[in-house]
Structure 1
């Protein structure tokens, strides 16, 4: 995937053959307290004492440590996201939000971003929104001290929150979640000769490995997948659904819109999409927990169903390439190139990275959620 994470492992299945935070590479490091054991040692001790743990628990612990102890972005980090590739990405999101605000009657709305990275998307979006005559208050949901510091430099007016619970309740919300849901913990269920079981993480010393648990999960498997071949994996993300429901409650009570941009598929589908990225290369997800970015492809069908069940109006998903082209990346590329002819070639390359099907354009999807009574968003015709 060309957000500078490596493209999906071809041995993994993508959609149908399933073919690119509240948890928001660097050298291995200990916590600030040098006497504190590494996360791997703490997990190994816990598993040794209490037995194997669900993959979701392992992933949550690893990503909490990972995002809390470093800036993972850029050439010195582990991956690069769309806002870091080009200012056009954040600018177009900002103009898209400003258009929604304008057609909704210009209410006193707030800009909210979940897992804002370095704050690059927010800075670019807010600059574009200001040029459109809209300068909203800013709320960033982030629990990494390292990333909060970077965000505060780029968006000094922002108020920070550890989760959505602390968000103000007095105005509609314009919510952005770019590459947020992919880092949330997933549960993996694996087909065996005796039915479906949950994938657990066991360990020997500090060697972690997945195993099948004893408890049957046949009752929650979709009927078309119930008799899948042994070894088949089905992924779910209860954490993602819980956050989606919390977001829906906010939008229904306060009004507004949310845009979710991430790599993923429309399920249910069989496939193991868990991956680790370290130094812009694939890594073993079970090696050195907390020292690599653990992600999984987002099941947009599940998010869509959860949002509709809560009463939101759902638009999409559509591919990122189609969405960006529909809301004007071509015109923005031309305008920037005319203003800086020396950048024309690089701008064209950046546009291609964001929109071409072989790069980020196809694998990344865009889903918009609106409160009843809000206008239909652009880009989803």
Structure 2
């Protein structure tokens, strides 16, 4: 049992069953024992690998899109180049390297910003960008960004934001909470929802639920999307978000935990595993549009292929050894393929901007 396990059990004993979003935030972000406060989760030696860690091609293609977006916006100067949840700094590093190669004027105009809650990760990210000799600044929230046009990227940020779960049992919706079960093990329990049902479930147009259906909402995730969209609506710019999820709102239990690249119980060893859920991209679009922006979503594979993933892979492999070319092909397939363990369909790409931008693959679809 971890120290956080004990504290969670004490809180449940004192205050009663714990809402899932409270449990989630303690496990991931508790300053003393939370997952992101103590562990180094990235890469082969960690608990998961994200797209920037699979291949430099991901950051290069995202960087190329950002350059095109800056030009489509009229090349504003100064402009913020921000990453929300920069992880180990690989993505923004690859983006900056690409910007430097493609458009020196953009490089002179941009001000890098890291939107990061963790002091430990922020220090690592700033160190990663030191070679660029740019005015890098770390902020803790979108609301702390300066009032300048902003080009923002977020990769696997929204899946780490806490959710609430509602389960349909015996003809009624209840809320899943965390409680102390047999032998003092943590367990899920369904109780009457505190504060009523989410608006989506109270809507008479909601799909008919069947026994055991689960519905997930994330007010915290909605607030982050709203903060990004409101900033863009006020100051101009564009944003890209990459995450696994679904393009249409639907019922389903997507709560999961990862430890050492293997599935784990979200209730076991609190603070030692990454807890995530699938992002509802339809809801993210609704929130962005309600804040005055246009929004469009597609699969990650469609995005990368439209940006030239095949061509970039060919260029990287042209002068490489046969073994290196095979590695490049495997990386490209993992980023954009639709097979088991590949990210091309499971992962989605959301584009948000105050007005539609004529950029692939979103031409004519909103952002």
TM-score of the pair, normalised by structure 1: 0.86
Residue 70 of structure 1 contacts residue 147 of structure 1 at CA under 8 Å; is this kept in 2? no
Partner of 1:377: 359
Structure 1: tracts of 5 or more residues without a match:
1-27, 31-37
Partner of 1:106: 75
1:138 to 107, 112, 120: 112
1:277 to 246, 258, 262: 258
- Quick check: 341-350 or 112-121, which moved more? 341-350
Partner of 1:45: 10
1:246 pairs with 2:227: yes
Aligned-partner Cα distance in 1 for 2:44–2:239 = 30
Q: Which has the higher contact order (CA 8 A, sep 6+)?
A: 1
Residue 180 of structure 1 contacts residue 262 of structure 1 at CA under 8 Å; is this kept in 2? yes
Aligned pair count? 343
Aligned-partner Cα distance in 2 for 1:301–1:206 = 39
1:329 pairs with 2:309: yes
- Quick check: 45-54 or 212-221, which moved more? 212-221
| Structural mapping, 1:1-381, within 5 Å | 38-64=3-29, 65-108=34-77, 109-133=79-103, 134-135=106-107, 136-156=110-130, 157=134, 158-169=136-147, 171-204=148-181, 207-215=185-193, 217=197, 220-221=200-201, 222-223=203-204, 225=206, 227-315=208-296, 317-342=297-322, 343-358=324-339, 359-372=342-355, 375-381=357-363
Residue 24 of structure 2 contacts residue 275 of structure 2 at CA under 8 Å; is this kept in 1? yes
Mark the CA change 1:101 to 1:72 in structure 2 (over 3 Å): closer, same or farther.
same
- Pairwise CA distance, 1:202: 0.7
Aligned-partner Cα distance in 2 for 1:82–1:220 = 32
- Pairwise CA distance, 1:304: 0.5
Superposed CA offset, 1:256-286 (max 9, x none): 0000110000232111000000010000111
Residue 368 of structure 1 contacts residue 377 of structure 1 at CA under 8 Å; is this kept in 2? no
- Structure 1: 4+ residue segments shifted above 6 A: none
TM-score of the pair, normalised by structure 2: 0.89
* CA RMSD, 1 decimal: 1.7
Superposed CA offset, 1:314-352 (max 9, x none): 12x111111100011111111111243452111111101
Superposed CA offset, 1:145-175 (max 9, x none): 3322321221124211111122111x21000
